[in-house]
Amino acid sequence: MLKNAKIGAKLSIGFGILIVVIIVLAIVTMVSFKNVGDIKDELLTENFVKFDLTNRLSSIVANVSIEYYRIQNGSDIRSSRRLIDETVAECNRTVESYTELLDRNNTDEMAIWDELIRFRTIFLSVAGQMNNQIDAGELESFAETFDSSFDRAANNYLTVIQRLVEFQRQGAYGKGVELSGVHQKDLLTINLVIIIGLITAIIFAVFITKMITKPIRECVDIAQKLEKGQTRLTIKVDTKDETGELKDAMQKMILAIKSMYDDCMYLSSEAIEGRLKSRADTAKHENDFAKLVNYINMTLDAIVNPITEAMEVMEMIANKDLTARIKSDYKGDLLDFKKNINLAGQTLEESIIQVDSNVEQILAASNEIASGAQSLAESTSEQASSLEEISSSLEEINSLTGNNADSAKSGLRLADQAVSAVEQSNVSMEKMNKAMDSILKSSQETGKIIKTIEDIAFQTNLLALNAAVEAAHAGDAGKGFAVVAEEVKNLALRSAEAAKNTNSLIEESSRNSEMGSNIVEQVTKSFLEMKEQFSKVKSIVNEISASSDEQAHGVNQISTGVHEMNKGTQQNAANAEQSAAAAQELNNQAEELKGLVNNFKVSRKVESQNHYKQPKNNHLLNDRRQKTAKIEHNPPKALEIKPENLLPLNGFDDDFDDFK
Amino acid sequence: MSDDLIFNPKTNEGKYLTFNLLEEQYGISVYDIMQIIAIPNIIKIPQTPHYVKGVINLRGKIIPVMDLRLRFSLPEQEYDDKTSIIVISLHTISSLQNTFQEDQETFVGIIVDKVLEVIDIHANDIESKPTFGVELDTDFILAMAKVKNIVVTLLDMGKILTSRELEHIQKMKI
């Protein structure tokens, strides 16, 4: 069948059909052209030539008749005669031409032709007779012949010719009609062939194309689905050509992938369900697929082995053997797995060892606690008696504190008085300072005046000298004047002297007042310092007073505290007894724990040395007693507060006396 | 003070104005002196010898002044209220060969530490000036006088101001 043919064969069949259609079309076309051509040839070479010849013959005969008519009517005989000869010759040639073309099979034509030949012969004989008469010059006989026989002969002849013309005309028309009919028919045939061929070609083209592309399309669809991860696919193999082979190959490929997928899924689901021993059969696969499945098997092996070993180790640990470890070698994360398991085991073992040693320590400690509790009980009773003593001392301190506060209050009063006295002195000093300042100022003013006096004395001296010079210039006339000048000069010198003396005195007084001013300043400063010191004294005395109050309060609190302590001490004694009992209990528990720990198998053991012993009370008690005694002999030094340490009181006692 | 003691060029006897210059006393003949004044405002003049301090305006007269300390190459001193100017009139100086400007009176102020007094110096108190050898110019010293046990150096103002300096001063006087 066509379905099972190769694609090449299918294509060949398709193109073959197309070629056949084209050949048929060509043959039909050629045949119809040939028919049309034949009819056309017949029409052109036979009918039209014959028609032409007969027509010409008709006109020639008419021309001969006309020439004879002209001769009869007396025109130029000679030229007409020559024309007649020529025309007859032509007529003969035309008849001969026609004879060659004559269709002997056509009876109708032949019948007309025979009649034509008969009338022609008559016509020619008449014409010959007439020609002879003309040549002989027997024009009368010619006219007679012309009138009697020629007219008839010519008419008959022309009539036959006309019949032949008509016959030929009809023949040509018949051929034309025939040609038209053949042409129509052939055209129809060609169109029919074209339409049939076209339809056949299209049908085959579509059919063959479908047959080739459809299976390929199916394969492409399957490949696309596979690419999107679908493996549950089937292909129907229904042809045996190349597309069939392609489908078959794809079917096998899908089966291989599906089988590999199934195996992978199987292994994974088994692993998920915890059945780690399941394995896939590699023989079902080939090449890389087999390798892949094999590797998955190997992967499972690699994971399962350490887990199995770890399970064994864990079981051993569960059975209290803490020395169990994973011994096989693993790689990568499994190495970490192994390390971690081993580390867990090791840590557990070490912890147990540690617990063991701790239990030992607890045993020792509980022994200590027991003995400690015992001694605590005894020291507590001693503490109680000490507290009694403290309480009586506190009473004494309280009364001393009251005295202290009283002294501080009187001190405060005295300090106040001192401060106000100092303030008064300060005011007086300020006044004095102002007085000194004004003395200094007046001294400076006086100095200025003295300076002016000195200036005047100098000018006067110069004037006196000038006067003396002038007097000398004047000679004798200036003598008296010179004496006056001398006197003036002396006066000037004396006033300068006096001014100088006054100046030195004023300078001294100004120096003195400056000194006084400085002293006043110093005194004022001292007074201010004194005032400040007294303020300090006051605040300190205040503080002392306040501290005394606080001290009294504090002593009260201490008293209450001591009372509380006394109560607490009683409680302590009871607690110590309880502690001793608890220590014993703890020791028992520790022994029990030790027994439990010993059940574990570990790589090293702690040797037990501690068992509960009754504490050696006497020895421990002596120690405690000594320590307590030490505390009693060294009361805290912080209580020794001396006033010297707080205040720089030295040197102030004298001043204090002054203000009393 | 004798009554008719006038300047005698031979003996140098006459009235002298004494003044102080660095502890020492000097004397100038009163005939050379025009006036004694306290130190006024001195207007400085450029391009003059260092001892010429400038000019002063004395009642409309422009008078050049020089510092005698500087002229005698003594250490300069700040002026105080004792410092005075002695204005000297030059055409009366007999020893000066003033070949030019004979009729014109030329005034020069000299700055001294302190003016003392006008005294009479008699011929018997005067001794001729000492000689220190040829190389030392002592021309400006007129003579040495002893007054009350103090030695007073009498100065010849004409010699102090050499002709060149005088010319200079003349020019300044414009």
Residue of chain A whose alpha carbon sits nearest to that of B29: A469
Residue A2 banded pLDDT, cuts 50, 70, 90:
low
Of the candidates B15, B30, B38, which has its C-beta nearest A462's C-beta?
B38
pLDDT exceeds cutoff 80 at A250: yes
For an interface test with A, which of B13, B36, B80, B92 has the most A Cβ atoms less than 10 Å from its Cβ?
B36
Mean pLDDT of chain A, nearest integer: 81
Name the token pair of A112: 């007309």
Q: Are B161 and B108 within 8 A, CB to CB?
A: yes
Task: Please provide residue A314's backbone torsions phi and psi, each rounded to the nearest 5 degrees.
Answer: -60, -40
Contacts of A485 in chain B (CB under 8 A): 118
Query: Which of A48-62, A499-513, B154-168 bottoms out in mean pLDDT, i.e. has the lowest?
Result: B154-168
Name the token pair of A201: 């070609």
Query: Which distant-in-sequence residues (6+ apart) come within 8 Å of B15 by Cβ?
Result: A472, B5, B6, B7, B29, B30, B31, B118, B119, B120, B121
Query: Which of A179-193, A364-378, A615-629 bottoms out in mean pLDDT, i.e. has the lowest?
Result: A615-629
Contacts of A492 in chain B (CB under 8 A): none
Contact check, Cβ <8 Å, A458/B38: yes
Residue of chain A whose alpha carbon sits nearest to that of B5: A475
Pairing of strands B107-112, B61-67: parallel
Mean pLDDT of A157-182: 86
pLDDT confidence of residue A385: 78
Q: Are A316 and A296 within 8 A, CB to CB?
A: no
Mean pLDDT of A141-162: 83
pLDDT exceeds cutoff 50 at B106: yes
In sign, the C-alpha dihedral spanning A493, A494, A498, A504 is: positive
Percentage, residues of chain B above pLDDT 90? 17
Task: Please provide residue A533's backbone torsions phi and psi, each rounded to the nearest 5 degrees.
Answer: -60, -45
pLDDT confidence of residue A638: 38
Residue type for position A659: F
Residue of chain A whose alpha carbon sits nearest to that of B85: A462
Contact check, Cβ <8 Å, B118/A473: no
Distance CA B116, CA B25 (A): 9
Q: Are B90 and B157 within 8 A, CB to CB?
A: yes
Taking CA atoms, A413 is separated from A295, A417, A647, A657, in Å, by 108, 7, 18, 14
pLDDT confidence of residue A105: 80
The pLDDT tens digits of the residues spanning A438-489 come to: 888 888 888 888 888 888 888 888 888 898 888 888 878 877 888 888 888 8
Query: Which distant-in-sequence residues (6+ apart) come within 8 Å of B120 by Cβ?
Result: B1, B2, B5, B14, B15, B16
Mean pLDDT of A295-322: 86
Query: Which residue in A75, A71, A89, A88 sits closest to A133, CA to CA?
Result: A71
The pLDDT tens digits of the residues spanning A507-522 come to: 888 888 888 888 888 8
Contact check, Cβ <8 Å, B81/A462: no
Residue of chain A whose alpha carbon sits nearest to that of B31: A473
pLDDT confidence of residue A655: 46
Of the candidates A465, A473, A479, which has its C-beta nearest B36's C-beta?
A465
| Cβ pairs bridging A and B (under 8 Å) | 45
Q: Burial level of B17, CB count in 10 A (0-12/13-18/19+)?
A: buried
pLDDT exceeds cutoff 80 at A265: yes
Percentage, residues of chain A above pLDDT 90? 0
Contacts of B15 in chain A (CB under 8 A): 472
Taking CA atoms, A435 is separated from A422, A429, A430, A509, in Å, by 20, 10, 9, 14
Distance CA A563, CA A569 (A): 10
Contact check, Cβ <8 Å, B36/A466: yes
Residue B18 banded pLDDT, cuts 50, 70, 90:
very high
pLDDT confidence of residue B56: 92
pLDDT exceeds cutoff 50 at A563: yes
Residue B25 banded pLDDT, cuts 50, 70, 90:
very high
pLDDT confidence of residue A643: 45
Mean pLDDT of A175-191: 87
Contacts of B36 in chain A (CB under 8 A): 462, 465-466, 469
How close B86 comes to chain A (CA, Å)?
10
Contacts of B82 in chain A (CB under 8 A): 458
Contact check, Cβ <8 Å, A482/B1: yes
Contact check, Cβ <8 Å, A462/B115: yes
Residue of chain B whose alpha carbon sits nearest to that of A479: B3
Mean pLDDT of B49-57: 88
Residue of chain B whose alpha carbon sits nearest to that of A490: B117
Name the token pair of B14: 């006459």
In sign, the C-alpha dihedral spanning A474, A475, A481, A482 is: positive
Residue type for position A589: Q
Contacts of B28 in chain A (CB under 8 A): none
pLDDT exceeds cutoff 90 at B26: yes
Name the token pair of A199: 């339809």
For an interface test with B, which of A450, A463, A466, A481 has the most B Cβ atoms less than 10 Å from its Cβ?
A466
Contact check, Cβ <8 Å, B115/A468: no
Contacts of B30 in chain A (CB under 8 A): 468-469, 472-473
The chain B residues in contact with chain A (CB within 8 A) are 1, 3-4, 6, 15, 17, 30-31, 33, 35-38, 81-82, 84, 115, 117-118
Planar angle of CA A115, A117, A119, nearest 5 degrees: 70
User: A5: alpha, beta or left, given left = phi > 0 and alpha = psi -120 to 50?
Assistant: beta
Residue A172 banded pLDDT, cuts 50, 70, 90:
confident
Contact check, Cβ <8 Å, B118/A466: no
How close A467 comes to chain B (CA, Å)?
9
Contact check, Cβ <8 Å, A473/B4: no
Contact check, Cβ <8 Å, A458/B6: no
In sign, the C-alpha dihedral spanning A297, A300, A305, A311 is: negative
Contacts of B84 in chain A (CB under 8 A): 462
Task: Please provide residue B153's backbone torsions phi and psi, each rounded to the nearest 5 degrees.
Answer: -90, 120
Residue with tokens 């007086």: A428
Contacts of A489 in chain B (CB under 8 A): 117
pLDDT confidence of residue A201: 85
Contact check, Cβ <8 Å, B4/A476: yes
Mean pLDDT of A280-307: 85
For an interface test with A, which of B13, B87, B113, B118 has the most A Cβ atoms less than 10 Å from its Cβ?
B118
Contact check, Cβ <8 Å, A472/B117: no
Name the token pair of A301: 């092996």
Q: Are B145 and B121 within 8 A, CB to CB?
A: yes
pLDDT exceeds cutoff 90 at B163: no
A198 vs A649, residue with greater confidence? A198
User: What dihedral do alpha carbons A649, A650, A651, A654 form, nearest 10°?
Assistant: 70
N- to C-terminal Cα distance for chain B? Answer: 40
How close B134 comes to chain A (CA, Å)?
36
Contacts of B33 in chain A (CB under 8 A): 469
Residue B11 banded pLDDT, cuts 50, 70, 90:
confident
Of the candidates A455, A466, A472, which has its C-beta nearest B15's C-beta?
A472
For an interface test with B, which of A461, A479, A503 has the most B Cβ atoms less than 10 Å from its Cβ?
A461
pLDDT confidence of residue A547: 85
Q: Could you give the residue ranges of the DSSP H alpha helices within A73-150?
A: 77-101, 107-136, 139-145
For an interface test with B, which of A453, A455, A458, A469 has the most B Cβ atoms less than 10 Å from its Cβ?
A469
Query: Which distant-in-sequence residues (6+ apart) come within 8 Å of A409 by Cβ?
Result: A545
Of the candidates B1, B6, B36, which has its C-beta nearest A469's C-beta?
B36
Distance CA A46, CA B18 (A): 193
Residue A5 banded pLDDT, cuts 50, 70, 90:
confident
pLDDT confidence of residue A399: 79
Contacts of A455 in chain B (CB under 8 A): 81
The pLDDT tens digits of the residues spanning A401-452 come to: 878 878 888 888 888 888 888 888 888 888 888 888 888 888 888 888 888 8
Task: Please provide residue A119's backbone torsions phi and psi, each rounded to the nearest 5 degrees.
Answer: -65, -30
pLDDT exceeds cutoff 90 at A38: no
Contacts of A450 in chain B (CB under 8 A): none
Percentage, residues of chain A above pLDDT 70? 91
Q: Where do the DSSP E strands lie in A193-324? A: none
Contact check, Cβ <8 Å, A454/B37: no
Residue of chain A whose alpha carbon sits nearest to that of B16: A469
SS (H, E, C) A321-384: ECCCCCCCCCCHHHHHHHHHHHHHHHHHHHHHHHHHHHHHHHHHHHHHHHHHHHHHHHHHHHHH
pTM value surpassing 0.80: no
The pLDDT tens digits of the residues spanning A607-658 come to: 666 555 554 444 444 444 444 433 333 333 334 444 444 444 444 444 444 4
Contacts of A476 in chain B (CB under 8 A): 3-4
The chain A residues in contact with chain B (CB within 8 A) are 454-455, 458-459, 461-462, 465-466, 468-469, 472-473, 475-476, 479, 482, 485-486, 489
